[in-house]
Structure 1
């Protein structure tokens, strides 16, 4: 994807700048070498392709050999991949490739720990737009690798009428009506509500999806019972790993959590040159 390519180029430019004054003054441009990336803690792997592209931008002839696939569980001390080519490319690309692998594996690992809590449940776990600026395509990919699903990608591919839209428009009904008149009949309309009165308004307006924002378990159950399948239900707001099973048991169709991306820590990997 062009957005990923641009991100890699920007990251390499940020790190290398006008040149790697250490590598370039130690090794000749023709020097060859081999390296391997090792997991320093247990993790769910994600980001192999972007790591490959990073090295290939610096040396198109680089040999990149994954030893696992994205989505695999890797244990501490295991080799993740091998890479061989010009030493300049290996050393200049090392930190950038690791940064991508560490961040994306961190998200995949976090997501897997959430998804494991929902085994046997029918509700879908989905992400949000709370992503690192510029990294959304990659971070949402890592969410899928971890075992969850993507919500809308951006403001352009899904209608979500939130509290500020409702306040500025004068109510749920008018907001839904205006959107319905202007978007394709194939586009679903989602409305965020904060209480059961909002659920009734959204139903009356013909919303396709109703987001139950920051509601407690009893109120979510009541909302699902009120909706009775006339719209998809999404639970959102302060979703914790510990609460997932109980939230899924309410009968909601979707559970969205920004923590899948914004609260994931990077995993620890390192590269060793032979």
Structure 2
């Protein structure tokens, strides 16, 4: 996984790009009718139910827009919220609050939706050893926040990008000539470039799992699009040789059954690509 420093750098990029995109040369609506000396106060109002996420990110946005803005937090990231709850107050320059408003709301609405969905999946897995993972199926330019939201919801992060873990999927294996060729070439590449990266290999059937197991150095096998019975057979084959991960069209109705097959992880793109934003608003008080 990437370092905290790298992750913070990604968050900084999101904030800078969000401000550039939304404010540009200036918030002319506010500049036109609100004096630059005006002071104000607003509340982050919840109009939905779920898990709140993005509070700490919102503080970063306010700090970036105007370091003199003051934020008083009442509900922290990861807490359950309901309609009518007030998450925080922000006070200071009225113009600055309005500048930050849309970036804060867009981010928190999306992050809260992801945290809420992740929390639901975590609850469905309760009592099993299986942990829920996100994927790279994220909104372009907003990945760091979405993966942060998964953590807030109780899930775990898969690789952040293409550079922090090796994942040999079907196309890699096919283009390399075979799974064994792909693994062998990968281990040579990592050694040559002095890279210490975990290797995950995807299997499409039990025969491919058997081939993967003939190779050393595989951290996790991705059991992709298997039915329940074949997943159970795969777990028996793999034993304790490496970690296991199930993936492929796993949803709320099937996730528990896959977990009960004995997999270590279940990865779900739906955590980030199929959510409905939580309804939040920033209201003057």
Coarse TM-score class (shorter-chain normalised): over 0.9
Displacement, 1:186? Answer: 5.0
| TM-score, normalised by the number of residues in structure 1 | 0.97
1:19 aligned residue: 26
| Displacement after TM superposition at 1:66 (Å) | 1.1
Structure 2: how far apart are the matches of 1:21 and 1:134? 26
Paired residues of 1:172 and 1:205 also in contact (CA < 8 A): no
CA distance in 1, matches of 2:27, 2:241: 60
The residue correspondences of 1:66-215 to structure 2 (distance < 5 A) are 66-183=73-190, 186-206=196-216, 207-215=218-226
Q: Which runs of 4+ in 1 moved over 3 A?
A: 184-187
Matched, 1:265 2:276: yes
Gaps of 5+ in 1: none
Report the CA distance between 1:2 and its aligned residue: 2.3
Residues 188-220 of structure 1 deviation map (CA, whole Å, 9 limit, x = unaligned)? 321101101111111112333111110100000
Unaligned runs of 5+ residues in structure 2 are: 1-7
Report the CA distance between 1:51 and its aligned residue: 1.0
TM-score by length of structure 2 reads 0.93
Residues 18 and 103 of structure 2 are in contact (CA less than 8 Å); yes or no, is this contact kept in structure 1?
Answer: yes
Give the Cα separation in 2 of the matches to 1:23 and 1:172.
Answer: 59
1:229 maps onto 2:236 in alignment? no
The RMSD of aligned alpha carbons is 1.3
- In structure 1, what is the equivalent of residue 259 of structure 2? 248
Whole-angstrom distance in 1 between the partners of 2:172 and 2:106: 37
Is this contact kept in 2: 1:45–1:73, CA < 8 A? Answer: yes
C-alpha distance in 1 between matches for 2:9 and 2:237:
45
7, 13, 21: which one pairs with 1:6?
Answer: 13
